[in-house]
Amino acid sequence: MTELITSMPLRVRYHECDGQGIVFNAHYLAYADMACFEVVRELYGSYDALREHGVDFVLAEANVRFRAPCRYDDELHVDAYVERLGNTSVVLRFDMMRGEDHVTEVTNRYVWVDTETLRPAQPPAEVRKALQPYAP
């Protein structure tokens, strides 16, 4: 088991639900994106501070696994973990929890890119160093 980076509280809003009263599937990716910014804040202080290292990361792949439906006003927390730390990519897993119930899992693969060219690039050692304690 990898170490938790951060846990983001979240309350489901009415407009995020579909006609069946269940959170519309695309919103889970938005929840993961919100939690990703919390990861960046926790590890680097801010998104701008990360970019000052000359790198950024872009989403290359997303996978959502639905375990149980979420509804309006549910109180969730999104737990963020490093699932894999590669040379030019990082895989983050976002476990969406309602209390102790694991309701959804989002796994995103991000590719590091140079901020100027937006071409794949290896992140500097200090950027990797912030992620390493959380990597399996």
- Provide the residue type at 64 as one letter: V
- Residue-wise pLDDT for 22-69, tens only, equals 999 999 999 999 999 999 999 999 999 999 999 999 999 999 999 999
Strands 6-11 and 55-66: unpaired
- C-alpha pair distances (Å), 116 with each of 29, 42, 56, 58, 121: 27, 24, 10, 13, 11
Q: Catalogue all structural domains in the chain, each as residue range(s) with its CATH number.
A: 6-134 (3.10.129.10)
Q: Is this structure's pTM higher than 0.85?
A: yes
